[in-house]
Chains A and B, each alone.
Chain A
Amino acid sequence: MADSVSYFLMAWLDPSLLMLTAIGTLAGIYVGAIPGLSVTMATSILISFTFSWDVNDALALIVGIYTGGVYGGSRTAILLNIPGAPSSVATSFDGYPLAQKGEAGQAIGLSTVMSVIGGLIGVGVLASVAPFLSDMALKFAPRDYFLIAALGLLLVGSLAAESLSRGIFAAAMGAVIGLVGLDQVTADPRFTMGSMQLMGGIHYVVVMIGMFGVAEAFFQLHQLNAKPLRQKVDKIVPSLHLVLKFLPLSIRTSVIGVIVGALPGTGGDIASLFAYDHAKRSVKHPSRPFGKGAYEGLVAPETANNAAVGGAYVPMLTLGMPGDAVTAIIIGALVVHGLNPGPMLMIQAPHIFWFTVGNLVLANLFLLIFGLTGIKVFAKVVELPKAILIPLIMVLCVVGSYSLNSSMTEVYWMLGFGLLGYFMKIFRFQMGPVILGVILGPLMDKTYRQAMSSVGNDTGSFLLSLVTNPLSLVLTTAVVLLLLSNTPLKRLLQRRRQA
């Protein structure tokens, strides 16, 4: 217990960690707010620079950026009607109408306080649930990990993509990219096409920088001349009465946020849309009609997306499964530092868990401070012309991918993935399933082969084991239901019921 407390307070008492968390949170707010920059892009570029750092320093900075970034998108959603991040799309539905009514300051203040409340509830759940889940996860068989990973890919495929087929294709393609190189067990080359350079595999950060950085930069070139409307911002700090009025709703939507965030593969973007939908259904008498400046429509997505941050850490720290794209990057950072995210992390490196929990609480407090101040400077920075921003993004992408192995090969790969990502975005394929596929593909390959070996390479016994163990049965049922819910069978049943 004493150890846990000391690990929890590590970032609070060490001046350099304190400063890194503060810098990360402030930078995250700006990164999340500036349209064209995203938290995923920033963390994927940044991660390559922190490989040589101490693990605590790297985690402190990333936790700050993650927390600040998820919140930051709300500011531009309110002020400019441009969600700075996907998790703030729902915020703009009522945030911008509020700003048009001259209540931009109140909207920003309320979204800041609610984001902090959501963030702290998310961390609370992480601290209380993760140790138990971690103990449970020690009993999971390889087939269960395989099923959880498959469930995560199917979830992100069906929720993030336009159709499940597109999501599954993107995830499978990502998994193939993740498997390129020599097999870890037999050293057989896989998908190398005889190239020596591909023997070492394709670094997942290169894929991420290409698909989230370069592809987005190309996409932003379509909106070079878009001029945002400026809003007047007055009083920011919300009254206690206003905060207390929306507290019950924020607690409910925080729970939604944590649960959605904790599902492997789903993050703040999906959580905020679920929460907005919940608010619309459950609030009978909103302050104004939804879509026309209802405070409830602002509170719900903002609490949920920050609560999802704590939720996303749950599967990452207990199962080694990323809760979303950012935690997928953090998994990579932990592995580089010799740590093994998953159930053994709590035993081998408990300090990492409690350090992360303490750090997340700290980042939320910094969020409260930075969120309620400096709005005038902020308004100037977010109006940075895209013609300046896009070439800078390109340079940062080059630096980030080169620094992985000090090799130009990675830089060319990054540009190639950027172009592929641009084409995929044009034709409505999402990047999220590709990235999760890259991360989860090798894990699924490993656990599938372990599970198959454990039943003596007998396919029949393997399939039987998926339904004879209680946990595996639950997971298999979830996978099958998710698949069936996206087939014509569901529409057929609905039609029959209506008839």
Chain B
Amino acid sequence: MSNEPRLKAGERAFNVLLLLLSLGVLYEAYQIAGFDLPNSPGAFPILLGLIMIASMIAILWGQRQHPKPDTQGALDETRQFLHEHFPLAIVVFLAMAIAYLFLLEFLGFIPATAIFLFVAQVYLRHGRLLASLIITAVATGIIYALFKLLFQVYLP
């Protein structure tokens, strides 16, 4: 029985993706100036790409003796990963956040923010319409006054 901690569902796949990303970084770094002079604009990026690859190989090598996740097959592992790290609350909140960004471009800051805050609170607090409405109105007002009037920043 190994004393090493059990790998998380999806951990090895994520690390392999990071290794592929590192290879992509090395390729992009080589594209800058090839293996030109040691002080070329591509030299340090190539070094970084190599460091990323080496450290990711070290991570994967170190994990080779860790027990695999307690799942049966890739599909089950994916299901467990989604269950553990992307529960419904996170998926819905992420969808609301993306919708909020789109709404900002179409409706402007105040309506989009008010809709986002209200809907997100109603969902996350399982109802409480009146309280959510009051908090939304107060929070949107404060954020607008603080940033637009006091800090004088441009709002979306």
Contact = CB atoms under 8 A, between A and B. Distances in A.
Interface of A: 48-50, 52, 163, 165-166, 168-169, 172-173, 175-176, 179, 183, 185-186, 188-191, 193, 214, 218, 221-222, 224, 385-388, 390-392, 394-396, 398-399, 402-403, 406, 408, 411-412, 415, 419, 423, 426-427, 441, 444-445, 448-449, 452-453, 457-459, 462
Contact of A163 (B59, B87, B121): B59
A15 B33 CA distance: 54
Contact of B116 (A163, A168, A391, A453): A391
A426 B8 CA distance: 9
Contact of A411 (B10, B21, B156): B156
B135 to A, nearest CB: 6
B131 to A, nearest CB: 9
A155 to B, nearest CB: 16
A166 B15 CA distance: 10
A495 to B, nearest CB: 16
B116 to A, nearest CB: 7
B77 interface: no
A457 B37 contact: yes
B101 to A, nearest CB: 6
3 residue pairs, one from A and one from B, having the closest CB atoms: A387-B124, A391-B120, A452-B39
Interface in B92-114: 93-94, 97-98, 100-101, 104-105, 113
A448 B101 contact: no
Nearest to B19: A169
Tier of interface size on chain B: 35 or more
Contacts, number: 160
Interface of B: 8, 10-11, 14-15, 18, 21-22, 25, 28-29, 32-33, 37-39, 41-45, 48-49, 51-52, 55-56, 58-59, 62, 85, 87, 89-90, 93-94, 97-98, 100-101, 104-105, 113, 116-117, 120-121, 124-125, 135, 139, 143, 147, 151-156
A391 B124 contact: yes
Contacts of A441: 48
19 contacts: A176-B48, A176-B52, A188-B41, A190-B32, A190-B45, A221-B87, A221-B90, A222-B90, A387-B124, A390-B93, A395-B116, A395-B139, A398-B101, A399-B153, A402-B154, A403-B155, A411-B156, A426-B14, A427-B11
